[in-house]
Structure 1
Amino acid sequence: MSASCPVGYPLPWAPAPDIPKSWTTLTEQPLLEIALPSGEPALLVTRYKDVRRLFADERLSRNTFGRASRVSASNDLFGDPNIDNDPPQYLTERSVVMRAFSARRIEALREVVKVIVAELLDAMEAGPQPAELMEAFAYPLPILVICHMLGVPPQDRPKFRRLIDGFLSVSKLPEDEVDQCRRQYWDYLTELIDSKRAEPGDDLISDMIEISREDPAKLTAYQLQHWVKTLLIAGYVTTASQLGTGMAVLLHRPEVTAELKADLSLVPSAVEELLRYQMMGTSLGTLRYAVEDIELLDGSTVIPKGSTVLLSQESNMDPEEFADPLTLDIRRTDNHHLTFGAGIHFCAGAALARMELQEATEALLRRFPGLRLAVPGEELRRPVGGFLAGYTEIPVSW
């Protein structure tokens, strides 16, 4: 480890939808000393093989509240002293979620997604040009899908979005407003779950309640509410950001867009490659706390006990794992990116996100074969102070 000053994290983004230059040399050292937005220190694990192994290493605890560095000085984000995020309790809770989040349910949603996509594109086509892709399509699609899946009433969706945006503030909003959003979001979920207990429906929350009722040791009321909170956030904002930024990355490369339009059977591999590029996110969500010293694979670098650790999703650019990693290759095979995590912490909603991204990408290119950015990629603006780093607006024409 060097004695130099920690590097500010998240790392600076490139002005266009390109890989930042600072990512290209990350793997030269297995650990990078960083300063989180709170100003507090952490260690960023940079190499793919280390990151993949550490996702399953129980010496890195996800119970970070009160002992790890904070992401933000005013927002603990996902830290919760009442939730055990480590095995064995985590695996018990996750098993309930995965039973309800079944492949059958996801596949049954595909037709729902197709209908929602078509309706959104109808409205977009009927509106003025340029259209703003985030507000016209990228945000409403996952909101409508996850709210349908979880049984959130249609009239609650605008409130739901406002509260989640506040919940995910890193430095965007003042502390009192963040606290207010977090409290109101929790109160809203209490009311929503209570209504599902009283009148169950054909939705994920009702299924999770029923599974927990069969075995009360599976999920307490608080744990159930925590998981619903997490699923709503993950099902909305990450998918929306990935859809928007993925399209921006693609449209910034007209030759790649043309290749994909000429062969839409490449959509699944293109979606995986756009996920690998990870242009909308950072590794802040991988916050861990080292409960023991951990030796990395180089045999000489050690994560000291008591360190705050981030598992770098920028490791998707590791040249030891991906050939020509800085090139967007929509025909790439064996694309084992870490955007959804790995092992026991692999994203529970990965199948849903993949399905939405595939349906949305193909439908956009079919409906609008002339789809293009309405401004140079260099002029797209990223949000300031949020948890994710997608784009605030993506104007498109066709």
Structure 2
Amino acid sequence: MTIVLGALMTVHAYPFRADRLDLDPKYAELRAGEPLSRVQLPFGEEAWLATRYQDVRLVLGDPRFSRAASVGRDEPRHMPQSRVSGMLSMDPPEHTRLRRLIAKAFTARRVEALRPFTLGLADSYVDAMIAKGAPGDLVQDFAEPLPAAVICELLGVPFEDRDRFQVWSEAIISTTSLPPETIVEYYQNLFGYIATLVAKRRAEPEVDDLIGALMRVRDDDDGRLSEQEMVQMIGGLLAAGQETTTSQLPNFFYTLMTFREEWERLVADPALIPGAVEELMRFIPLGVGAAIPRYALEDVAFGDVVVRAGEPVLVSLASANRDPDVFEEPDALNIQRRSNPHIGFGHGAHHCVGAQLARMELQVALTVLTQRLPRLAPAVPPQELTWKSGRLVRALSALPVTW
């Protein structure tokens, strides 16, 4: 639906259609004819929507666009109440301070050291599926427990508490799947749980997990990481670190089954898997729509369009990743794509801090599934699959499979 205001401005109702993992053709239309367009989300003020790759990178990476300026504004959003806080509502240098502290604890070495552990877990879940017999559910039997176990190991969170924090994590990605009072309750439960873990860890700071590392970093930096910041940071990593990968794993498989020849290439040549992960991150529109606007701190020109100071801009990563000016045959899945500067993990100061962890988990998952279950296939037709609704990210409720 569009709303025409006079003869000068068209305001598009947003988000656009999000059916399964299809990207609405409206994005291509806007990229070609109206790359910076006006949109109205279900809640909040009107915004600009950037759909071209170069414009999206500019908004995400240019200091003239601010997240901190959203505080106190009726920012455009998918849900009734704004729930974005902490680092996602900060600009440098405050954001840089916290990001640097995370980087000291959340190192590539620490993530890579988890690869053997993750491989062992993935193998064990496949063993259990085989022992139980087909059909299995790739969501419940594999995609849900694997990222949860890995993020628990990384952070130092008891895996046996998974049933609780996986429920609470829904609050972070819910738009309408949960009532507002339940969202508040789940946030309180999640952060209260993390605060208890942090308090317990003070008695054993030598433990080599991320909670312990953050506590040591905080102490080394004269308390520049407050207790509240630490709790919010760990809670966010726990929830987002398992929720997004849990959604993407079945999305990856669903897409590879749609392009079965690409699955067969991975079965035949596992060396293609790292590139396949990057291509699938580019190709799959994980988000239902653009979120987390940036506010212009001064007038900024995008060709003939000027974003005025104080106006919010949303960016579509999914649309940018299908820009034909950057990607050859952008609507085709090509796991052997040579040039792939996708921004599936974002860009700029707020680039996903867990990108390396997600890459490692997705690589391991594809390796184990293609090599252990090369004939893996959906047990039901695509039209019979159920997709979750009322959430910021696209995800299957279940994915019955045979092998």
Distance 1:61 1:294 in 2: 13
CA distance in 2, matches of 1:157, 1:122: 21
Residue identity matched to 1:277: F
Q: Could you tell me how far 1:84 is from its partner in structure 2?
A: 5.6
Aligned partner of 1:91 among 92, 96, 114: 96
Residue type matched to 1:27 in 2? R
Q: Tell me the amino acid that sits aligned with residue 396 of structure 1.
A: V
Give identity over the alignment, percent: 36
TM-superposed CA distance for 1:342, in Å, is 1.5
1:277 matched residue in structure 2: 283
Give the Å deviation of 1:70.
4.3
User: Is 1:35–1:42's contact at 8 Å kept on the other side of the alignment?
Assistant: yes
Pick the aligned partner of 1:21 from 5, 8, 25. Answer: 25
The whole-number CA distance in structure 2 between the counterparts of 1:52 and 1:186 is: 32
Aligned residues: 393
Structure 2 equivalent of residue 138 of structure 1: 143
The answer (yes or no) to whether the contact 1:252–1:373 under 8 Å persists in 2 is no
The aligned counterpart of 2:353 is: 348
* Residue pairs, 1:1-398, within 5 angstroms: 3-9=9-15, 11-15=16-20, 17-28=21-32, 29-38=34-43, 40-63=45-68, 64-80=70-86, 85-200=90-205, 201-296=207-302, 298=303, 300-314=304-318, 315-398=320-403
Q: CA deviation at 1:175?
A: 1.3
1:287 Cα deviation after fit: 2.5
Q: Give the Cα–Cα distance (whole angstroms) in 2 for the partners of residues 286 and 337 of structure 1.
A: 19
Instruction: Tell whether the 8 Å contact from 2:27 to 2:51 is kept in structure 1 after alignment.
Output: no
Q: Secondary structure of 1:165's partner?
A: helix
Q: List gaps (5 residues or longer) in structure 1.
A: none
Structure 2 contact 175–390 (Cα < 8 Å) conserved: yes
Task: For residue 200 of structure 2, give the secondary structure of its aligned residue in structure 1.
Answer: helix
Report the 3-state secondary structure (helix = DSSP H, G, I; strand = E; otherwise coil) of the residue aligned with 2:113.
Answer: helix
Which runs of no fewer than 5 residues in structure 2 stay unpaired? 1-6
> What SS is found at the alignment partner of 1:24?
helix
Range that drifts further, 304-313 or 172-181: 304-313
Kindly provide the CA deviation profile for residues 194-236 of structure 1, in whole angstroms up to 9, marking residues without a partner as x. 1112222210011001111111253111111221122112211
Is the CA contact 2:75–2:82 (under 8 Å) kept in the aligned structure 1?
Answer: no
TM-score (norm 2): 0.92
Partner-residue secondary structure (3-state), 2:152: helix
Q: What is the alpha-carbon distance in structure 2 between the residues aligned to residue 204 and residue 127 of structure 1?
A: 35
Q: Is the 8 A contact 1:106 1:352 kept in 2?
A: yes
- CA drift at 1:291: 2.5
Distance 1:282 1:338, change over 3 A: farther
Letter in 2 for 1:306: G
Q: Is the 8 A contact 2:135 2:402 kept in 1?
A: yes
